[in-house]
Amino acid sequence: MKTGKISESILKRSVLKKCTAKNPQVLQGAGTGNDCAVLDVREKGCVSCAVHPEIVEDKSMIRYAVEHALNNLACSASAPAAVLVTVLLPEGAEEGLLKTIMEEADAACREHGVQLAGGHTQVTGDVLKPLVAVSAVGICAATGNRIVSETRGRQPEYAGCEIVMTGYTGLEGTALLANMRREELCTRFPVDFVEQSRKFAKSISILKAAELAWESGAELLHDAAQGGIFGALWELCEKARCGMEADLRRLPIRQETIEICEYFGLNPYCLRSAGALLIVTKNGEEAAGKLRAEGINACVIGRLTDSNDRILINGEEKRYLERPAQDEYYRWKDMEHGKDKCCIV
């Protein structure tokens, strides 16, 4: 494809034709000449928006971009309605790559009843690898949602609340590593072990868990993503303006994550962890029980405190949670610079 905006013929057959997901709240979606998606919200509440970009080195990362954006909406008690996708392709990219990106994005949208309602596609020499940026738009109910203002001071109503975690530590990063280094890992681990790790890519949505959490009276939600569980705990404390005590031994983690992280020399607690949700609630065990009853892994991992201290407990040992550093996945990417190949199709 030539540099610049893609041609109308390519737009119709490789982009618009792939936007099959529909949502009745979208009055105007993707189409030739449609430069804006229009949603019908009327008196249903507020409109919420979230954006997530990904450098696409494996086709599973297209799904990650959609899931991350939708997860962010869910943490604000928002029902997702539409997704807009910006695709920037490097010079020399084939049309088949664009088709794959759109098909993967649309498939993720259809799973959640969300319409792929528009976006932008362009070929440019300013990117070396495909870049996908997903903008998700949702409807936030006018009542029942706690919006935490950045201008408020310490929020003592959160102090004493318990922290429930759903999902698993480092699951997203484990799936990424297993997809991008499948052949290498198969020389070290059984094939079934590696294939199971790759399937973790299908477990990064927190929409159902978030819905159940809000219904159970959650005070605050925060999804884990880049920076891993440690990064998410830090950000949760920043948002709540509270301190924290969390039991490291209670953080759920899969054996596949432990072994793959050990193989690559990575800290699983600082590894991309989409699919994990942190829930602040006054009734931790009750909320965790309701989630488990719906087949969602959940447990109480700690509580928020009326202090500035963010403490991790490991048996008799206590240490302070450190400010988030570079995600372990990107640190690994830096170490592996030059070895990766784009394996979209």
Q: Tell me the pLDDT tens digit for each residue of 42-53.
A: 666 677 788 898
Residue spans of beta strands (DSSP E) within the chain: 4-5, 26-28, 38-39, 45-55, 78-90, 115-124, 131-141, 162-166, 220-223, 243-247, 277-281, 298-305, 310-314, 317-320
In this prediction, residues 199-204 reach a mean pLDDT of: 89
Question: What average pLDDT does the chain have?
Answer: 85
Q: Could you tell me the pLDDT band of residue 332, with boundaries at 50, 70 and 90? A: very high
Q: Give the pLDDT of residue 345.
A: 42
The confidence band for 343, taking pLDDT boundaries of 50, 70 and 90, is very low
Give the model's confidence band at 59: pLDDT under 50 very low, under 70 low, under 90 confident, else very high. Answer: confident
Residue 334 burial (CB < 10 Å; 0-12/13-18/19+)?
exposed
Q: Residue 290 is which amino acid?
A: K
Q: Per-residue pLDDT tens for 156-199?
A: 578 899 999 999 999 999 999 999 999 999 999 999 999 999 99
Distance of CA 275 to the CA centre of its chain: 7
Degrees, nearest 5: CA angle 318-331-300: 35
151 vs 97, which has greater pLDDT?
A: 97
- List the domains of the chain with CATH numbers: 4-141 (3.30.1330.10), 162-335 (3.90.650.10)
Does residue 71 contact residue 274 with C-beta atoms inside 8 Å?
Answer: yes
Res. 223 pLDDT band, cuts 50 70 90: very high
Residue 15 has pLDDT above 90, yes or no: no
Q: Could you give the percent of the chain with pLDDT greater than 70? A: 84
Of the candidates 127, 185, 164, 189, the residue with the CA atom closest to the CA atom of residue 277: 164
- Tell me how far apart the terminal alpha carbons of the chain are, to the nearest angstrom: 16
For residues 260 and 328, is the Cβ–Cβ distance under 8 A? Answer: no
* For the chain, percent of residues with pLDDT exceeding 90: 57
Alpha-carbon distance 85 to 87, whole Å?
6
- Structure tokens belonging to residue 210: 């978030």
